[in-house]
Structure 1
Amino acid sequence: MQTFRPDIEGLRTIAVALVIFYHYQFPWITGGFVGVDVFFVISGFVITRMLQNKLATGNFSFADFYTRRVLRLVPVFLLVSTVTFLCISPFYFDDDYYIFSKSWMAALIGLSNFYFFAELSQYFSPEAGTIPLLHTWSLAVEEQFYFFWPAAFLSLAALAPRLRLALFAVAWLAALALSIYLAHHHANAAYYLLPARIFELTLGAGVALFGAHAWRLRPWLAESFTLAGLTLILATALLLRSTSTFPGLNALWPTLGTALIIYAGMHRTTLVSRALSIRPLVFLGGISYSLYLWHWPPVALLNYQLIEIDWPIRLAMLVAIVPLSWLSYRFVENRFRYRRWSLKKTLGIFILIPLIAIWAVQVTIRTSDDISFRIPEERRELYKIISQQNPADLFKRCFKGRPYEFEQSGACIFGNRDVAQPDSMLIGDSHAMALLGFVEELIADTDLSMLVVTRASTPFLLEEDMRALDPDPTKAQRSAALQRYLEQRPMTVFVGAWWNAYLTKPGMHEAFLRSIEWLLQQGHAVVMLEGVPELPSDMFAHCLLKNMDSCEIDAGPVRERMAAFMALKQEMTQRWPELVWLQPAQVLCDATQCQTELDGLPLYRDESHLNYLGAREIGRRFLRGSPAPLLSQQRASGTETE
């Protein structure tokens, strides 16, 4: 039985080249992600041939199979992931750093596809492009296939040939139909999870199972098969887009093309197989696993740093990853893959011990109050402003805690503390809390005494509306508690929320109208806090740390995202002219651009929340252009006489 196919090594080169060219943003390679699907077919074929050889010689054992898989895949993964961890540590912040540690652990145990499916809205989303181990989802799919395929193979081998073929054909067609259905109705699950990819892996397995016993191809037919196969692979790589429905039927063409080349090569040597067997392609195919592992982390880091991938960077990365991959292939892959270790020893050294180490890293990142030591000293203070100036953390008692019994002590009183009871309140969610520094500056020279009562994802709505619109009962409890408190006496009430997010939900527009109407009916002077510009991603909050030439963002998309809020504001203004509107964005935006920093001070902590010092600076600048903006509120609350 033929054991080494140089043309398959050449196919591996095409597969990894398509993926690399796609991720490195080479022009025209808009569907290069199909290289992963080519790999799936090759893996299904190679693994099944290996199982056939073992079964024929009577040497198959499950322990040996899984030992070889771990020794083949895990050592070089540990090398690449550890180097990646060290390289990103000076640059990745807070949740991004923690997400890496979680994905690292998931990738080690072959579950990263489930992790990314749960965490990301879609594979091609902008946030996905900054995750250094995102590409390990495909390795997880293969590893999960390895868990069930040996047992399925042995079961098929025990059947009569015709029954085996019929059962396999029915199962494969069902798997293809499932992939088509999932791609149309559950796109994210289809992309990441094994069920939609089984038909690709088993297509390669089917060629191994039945290809040698099929009719021997005539030379012209073999040439046609391989030429058609190569055309299908390259055409889909050039014609598909990230917006194409995938995998499903669109994944059938490159996988069918791969199967045709492999099948024809079992019978004849063709022009295509000779071309695929040239030494440079065979060499690159041999190191393709290392190439695949090394190629993506630099792209993720560049995306995180908001560095455009231009031609010099593309070429530099290509030049770097080939020798790096050869070294890891030569000194790591080949050093361990042929070891005759027991399964217990293999799992202990390459799974259990690294898992404990990665878990320790993850816990440290999650629980440590200050890990800024990993940031270069010249950027450390900027990092601390962004990561450690979250008012929700600085004033936890005013943001966290029991929903129905919020904090009313002096710990949550801001402004004038020399009063028996506060005469104003700041209420709302985390976006209201993020504007605390802004409001503090506005009330600093007034007599207002402000109680802060905020809670994550909990805008101020009437209790009955909150129960109807949100299934979380604790949010309705908070609404009820606030209503009871606000019924006691007229106050100045500052209302903030993540308006853009809530107003995408049905019923929220009307619910906000009812909540403001209720506040006015209670005699409160209501001050509406408009939101700040939302950034394209939280990476822009770190622009000063990334040494970007400019920290400005386009004002056009900012205004577009606020369309629903502006409609709400217009209706509220028409109904209740007495409402006061405070617009922090007027400090940040002109007609074309919005700032994310002011004189070297970072303003944000993520894509939509200000940090505490940034909010205070915006408040100070707001006052310069709007003298005594709270005079009317003070009079309404009775803290200043006529």
Structure 2
Amino acid sequence: MNFRYDINGLRAIAVLAVVIFHFNPQWLPGGFAGVDVFFVISGFLMTSIIFNGVEKNTFNLFKFYNARANRIIPVLAAMSAVLLVFGWFYLLPTDYRDLGKQVEKSALFVSNLLFAKGGGYFDTSEHTKWLLHTWSLSVEWQFYIFFPIIIIALKRFLSFSNLKRVVLGLFLVSFIYCIYATYKDSKTAYFLLTSRAWEMLLGGLAFLYPWSLKNKSHQVITQCLGIILIIASYFLISKDTPWPGYMALIPVLGAYLIVVANYQNNFLINNPISNSIGKWSYSIYVWHWPLVVLGFYFAFENWWIYGIPLSILLGFLSYQFIEKINFPRYSSWKEIYKVKPFYIFLIILACGYAVKETDGMKFHYSKEIIVALDELKGTNPYECDSGHRNRDAEECKIGNQDNIKAIVIGDSHADSITTSVASAFDLNKEGIVSIVTASCPLLLNANVRDINNNDDCQNINKKRFQLIESQKYKNVPIILISRLPVYIEGQNDVERVKNEEKKALLYFSKNERLSKNDLYKLTSKDLTETLCRVSKHNPVYITYPVPEFSTNIPKTVAKNLFFNESIPTTMSYKEYLYRASKSRVLIADAAQSCDAKVLDPTTILCPQNECISIYKNRPIYRDADHLSEYGNKVLTPMFKNALNP
């Protein structure tokens, strides 16, 4: 096959879109679709290699894998090695451990399966995953493994024409599955080969069923239409578009049209700049994402100014000094010991595994840093919030189940404080019940969306009220705990604000454009109705919100120790009130109307008008706003005094 300048230019269009999107998504909201364009290109090129070899009976599976390894592994390994060295000096042990795990999985080309278990490609927390971008390399490698095996296996039974029809059938099956999987769970579908294979297979169909466009004007029109579709997709789609569903057809079809047009002289994609960027595209892609995470990790301002040109520079250097190394190709499995990238793979795999298994080489960090980061794991040991929604009101019983003295109901903040309530009692003789679900306060009519867009809190609360009004726990004190400010004010921690998740999470109707005043009025009405309804059968206590910080406290404390910095770990009581005062007023008014008692955690957490996040040199939060198991015990005297007067 002659060198395809159009495909090289298409690579440039794809990689620049991805880089721009990652550094500044506001500029190119659909730039992530550049990866879909890459998939079409890979499918076209790999299908051409496989079918040309199969047709001539010269295809060698080991040689094919060897060639792919020669191209992909050295750059990926170099980037992984640099990150592992960097991590030793600059990453906290928890982050270094996660990096080691990612290096291990990416070396095995299964990192897509690892990231499919996370919060989704566009979730802010993913911005701290240094090798998140390797999911696409894993998908491609998995395609390289299975596709030729399928073709070779079927070649024994099918003619060449029928083999082509098999590819068409696989394309249709994968595309239909993609639409279904995206509808069911787009966060998982985003990363999987089964929902991405159709993009590569369409590239393969471009080779197997070429268009005969002998007229130059038809070639130009087809190619320009493809360019328009790709560019349009970069602006028409966004992270809110379910992906890779049917909308992915826009950039994928655009790439397909450019490939089948086979026109080499369009200056838009065949010029000195696109030719160079296209040649460096793989290296640019591999190196750019760690630069994105670097800026995010250290909170560099306007990082794109430096990050984008640095990505291109590193791509150029990587291409010149790594990609251009001409590793020998071998034809027999018996010669695998001669394949140098195989040893590179083993070394990187071993290094990643070692970092992961030693908890991020934690032995080379100070004891104070380890103690601070241990609070990240300081969750309720009883696992009262199992994370399952659409269920009955689950009663998590702690202590003596025959002598229940208190019931805790609320969201994840209630879960984080549950054992503080339990500590107010002698659990050998007394017990408590915790009924908690993340992102679901006990609030009548509240339609709350959690981070996964679940909005079934109303149904959960109906089940909670059924339990309360069954009088199974009649006259047992009920303590309502929630993070009320987040539902009516929106997120406040730095990571989520960067991700523009500032909107309120609490809606009382299908109309999501409620004004703040209307929201306050509705919250006041429903909170009052809630407290009065509960107080008919039980004594009611409700807590004011705990102070919420803007950064992850254990990590902030560890960073201060590790880098000798002084990032604030306290806030003034005035700052606390700036966010929580409206919620406190709503709680106080509702409690007064329904004869409920208000408990104020700030009397303990904000001594001398300064809200603390550290007690006796140890963080009392496990993130920015949830008290840890160590920290919540600071509030035990408040509950003991209220419940055991």
Structure 1 Cα separation of the partners of residues 136 and 220 of structure 2: 31
Structure 1 Cα separation of the partners of residues 613 and 373 of structure 2: 15
Look up the match of 1:14.
13
Q: Which moved more, 1:218-227 or 1:504-513?
A: 504-513
Q: Secondary structure at the match of 1:72?
A: helix
The one-character-per-residue Cα deviations of 1:122-158 (angstroms, maximum 9, x if unpaired) are: 2111111111111111111111111211123346767
Deviation of 1:494 after TM superposition, in Å, equals 9.4
The one-character-per-residue Cα deviations of 1:170-217 (angstroms, maximum 9, x if unpaired) are: 432332222222222221122111122111100111111221xx4243
Structure 2 Cα separation of the partners of residues 184 and 517 of structure 1: 44
Look up the match of 1:542.
556
Distance 1:478 1:109, change over 3 A: farther
Look up the match of 2:350.
356
Amino acid at match of 1:107: S
Structure 2 Cα separation of the partners of residues 3 and 270 of structure 1: 14
Residue ranges of structure 2 left out of the alignment (5+ in a row): 406-421, 442-456, 479-537
Deviation of 1:585 after TM superposition, in Å, equals 7.9
Q: State the TM-score, normalizing by the size of structure 1.
A: 0.70
Amino acid at match of 2:259: I
Amino acid at match of 2:149: A
Structure 2 Cα separation of the partners of residues 390 and 572 of structure 1: 33
Structure 2 Cα separation of the partners of residues 237 and 479 of structure 1: 59
| Alpha carbons 2:122, 2:239 under 8 Å: kept | yes
The one-character-per-residue Cα deviations of 1:82-103 (angstroms, maximum 9, x if unpaired) are: 2123324444435443322222
Distance 1:330 1:629, change over 3 A: closer
Alignment of 1:69-468 (within 5 A): 69-118=68-117, 120-154=118-152, 159-160=158-159, 163-211=162-210, 214-265=211-262, 268-271=263-266, 274-308=267-301, 310=302, 313-335=303-325, 337-340=327-330, 342-346=335-339, 349-365=343-359, 370-373=363-366, 381=368, 383-384=369-370, 386-388=372-374, 430=379, 455-458=381-384
Structure 1 Cα separation of the partners of residues 251 and 556 of structure 2: 40
Amino acid at match of 2:225: A
The one-character-per-residue Cα deviations of 1:436-484 (angstroms, maximum 9, x if unpaired) are: xxxxxxxxxxxxxxxxxxx342389xxxxxx96449xxx5586637759
Q: Secondary structure at the match of 1:335?
A: coil
Deviation of 1:281 after TM superposition, in Å, equals 1.9
Alignment of 1:18-33 (within 5 A): 18-25=17-24, 27-33=26-32
Structure 2 Cα separation of the partners of residues 525 and 136 of structure 1: 55
| Alpha carbons 1:500, 1:562 under 8 Å: kept | no
| Alpha carbons 1:365, 1:371 under 8 Å: kept | no
Q: Secondary structure at the match of 2:599?
A: strand
Counting matched residue pairs gives: 534
Structure 2 Cα separation of the partners of residues 327 and 389 of structure 1: 42
Q: Secondary structure at the match of 1:320?
A: helix
RMSD in angstroms over aligned alpha carbons?
A: 4.7
Look up the match of 2:401.
480
| Alpha carbons 1:287, 1:325 under 8 Å: kept | yes
Deviation of 1:250 after TM superposition, in Å, equals 1.3
Q: Which moved more, 1:541-550 or 1:45-54?
A: 541-550
Amino acid at match of 1:245: P
Deviation of 1:55 after TM superposition, in Å, equals 3.5
Look up the match of 1:441.
none
Q: State the TM-score, normalizing by the size of structure 2.
A: 0.69
Alignment of 1:620-635 (within 5 A): none
Residue ranges of structure 1 left out of the alignment (5+ in a row): 374-379, 393-429, 432-454, 461-466, 623-627, 638-642
Structure 2 Cα separation of the partners of residues 491 and 542 of structure 1: 40
Q: Which moved more, 1:47-56 or 1:593-602?
A: 593-602
Structure 2 Cα separation of the partners of residues 83 and 240 of structure 1: 34
